[in-house]
Amino acid sequence: MLGLNKKDTYLLLLVAGLVIFAPFLLNPFPEGSAMAQFNAGYPDLMQRFVIFGVFAIGFNILFGLTGYLSFGHAAFLGVGSYAAMWMFKLFGMNVLPALGLSILTSGLFAVLIGYISLRRSGIYFSILTLAFAMMSYSLAYSVLATDMDGPDRQGLLQKGLTGGETGLQLTLEDPRIFGQQTAGEGNIPVPNIFGLEMRSAVEMNVGDWVFTFSVGYYFAALVMLLSFYLSIRIFRSPFGMMLRAIKSNQHRLNYTGLNAKPYMLAAFVVSGMYAGLAGGLMASMDPLAGPERMFWTASGEVVLMTILGGVGTLIGPVLGAGAIKYMENILSKINSDILHTWFAFLPDGLEDFVITLIYPFIGKGWHLTLGLIFMAVVIFLPGGLVEGGQRIARLFKRKKPSTKTPDGKTTPAE
């Protein structure tokens, strides 16, 4: 099916099922219940799941297949966001051209950075990519945000190309040559796909449960599925095998007469284009592009996502992205008042003691929980969440190797 083997087809269908039924799967608890705090089935968060899934899938093509660890991939995320925003400001609010420009711009930027950075390997490559990302952040934060002189000072380029600290935003003065300058009642138009707005949503009430179906989420989910399918084809292709050979032993590969540099550059560019696509999707869901998307912490986050899910696996980066974004948006919102509600059945002294033990790991301290989970995964599950799932599956697997010969006799143990 679609050029995939049976196992990969099942994996693709599994991911498709998860994203299609996410509004149900992520809202297991009824509204108003004490456990509704753990529901994650609202559009903004679901969009983050799939968008950062695209980001992590692309990063895994570079890190998982070649072993080259980039600490500067957030630069492409930011470039993609800015490219999409300028497409919205200059031409129109259709997200497809914006995503196309995001992919093209980030790809060209990746060619430049990759050509220079790939002259070194190991930690030197990682530091070079980090340096380029921080230079990009500085350019977006200050240099390219300088007010322009001349008659256009109060117009389109009032805050430069990037908008500086406040970010690049849509205004009523934007030309939007092929689209509306204003929406109803003089408002700024919103991103859409052929007139269908990304923020449009429909709610379905089933008893005490509320499920929300968002156009923006399902569009981003479709893009993520296509990105996931493409990553499978890359992993199974001769190009993917060459990248694995680079990771296994690049020096031995060079001895065969093959030049590994073009393959590494191609992997770097493809990975950068994935990041640019994710940045374009972020701008499409929320029309704003800021320099913080290029900061080093954003690059570190995608590294954590990939390692947490499983480096070199297909579905691992998607799982890692979902796990980190869930903790960031759900675990971080649990405060002491919510904890007192949960443990109100305990005696006062014991209640305060339990809350005192738990509180450092939630709310603003959710990073501590993430750090502990990450340490446990690195130490006990080097293959990430995917390896954890495989171990659990083996525990429940009932099939045992047969010890009988074809004639029905039992062979002695060796």
Residue 354 in domain: no
The answer to whether the CB of 249 falls within 8 A of the CB of 263 is: no
Query: What is the per-residue pLDDT for 406?
Result: 52
Distance CA 269, CA 304 (A): 21
Dihedrals phi, psi of 2, to nearest 5 degrees: 55, 30
Residue 130 in domain: yes
pLDDT below 70 — which residues of the chain?
Answer: 1, 147-159, 398-414
Query: What is the per-residue pLDDT for 191?
Result: 93
Residue 404 in domain: no
Q: How many domains does the chain have?
A: 1
Residue 380 in domain: no
What is the tens place of the pLDDT at every residue in 149-171?
A: 544 444 566 667 888 888 899 98
Query: What is the per-residue pLDDT for 397?
Result: 80
CA-closest candidate to residue 129, choices 214, 62, 229: 62
Cβ neighbours of residue 28 closer than 8 Å, sequence gap 6 or more: 38, 39
Residue 388 in domain: no
Query: What is the per-residue pLDDT for 411?
Result: 45
Residue 383 in domain: no
Instruction: Give the H/E segment covering residue 193.
Output: strand 192-193
pTM more than 0.85: yes
Scan for tokens 């070649």, then name that residue.
66
What is the tens place of the pLDDT at every residue in 167-201?
A: 899 988 888 888 887 887 778 899 999 889 999 99
Residue-range definition of the domain harbouring residue 151: 6-26+41-295
The answer to whether the CB of 61 falls within 8 A of the CB of 271 is: yes
Tokens for 292? 């913080």
Residue 280 in domain: yes
The answer to whether the CB of 280 falls within 8 A of the CB of 84 is: yes
Query: What is the per-residue pLDDT for 185?
Result: 75
Cβ neighbours of residue 113 closer than 8 Å, sequence gap 6 or more: 72, 75, 129, 132, 268, 272
Residue 269 in domain: yes
Quote the radius of gyration of the chain (alpha carbons, Å): 24
Distance CA 59, CA 70 (A): 8
